[in-house]
Amino acid sequence: MMSEIACNVQKDLDPVIPILSSAQDALIILKKCDIAEVNFLKIPPLALKMVLEAVCVLLGSKTD
């Protein structure tokens, strides 16, 4: 039973692992000036806000 659950979970994870890897690679090339540019936006677009919250989650930081 447990191996069946593990197989199902692995099947769900397989397509997203490359996406996670790409996101982690993108974080490495992120520069301080890229982040500073976001600070100039009074109200960031919703898509940008969602991406930044995802980055915070990946880094283990608060999302507020």
Cα-to-chain-centroid distance, residue 13: 15
pLDDT tens for the chain, 64 residues: list them: 678 999 999 999 999 999 999 988 988 898 889 888 888 888 889 998 898 898 889 888 888 7
What is the domain extent for residue 6? 1-30
- Pair 39, 55 in one domain: yes
User: Of 63, 34, 33, which Cα lies nearest the Cα of 49?
Assistant: 63
- Taking CA atoms, 9 is separated from 3, 24, 25, 33, in Å, by 10, 21, 24, 38
* Residues 58/27, Cβ–Cβ less than 8 Å: yes
- Pair 4, 26 in one domain: yes
Tokens 């100039």 map to which residue?
A: 40
- Pair 36, 62 in one domain: yes
Number of independent structural domains in the chain: 2
Task: Please state the pTM of the whole predicted model.
Answer: 0.50
User: Which spans in 1-64 are helix H?
Assistant: 2-13, 17-28, 32-39, 46-59
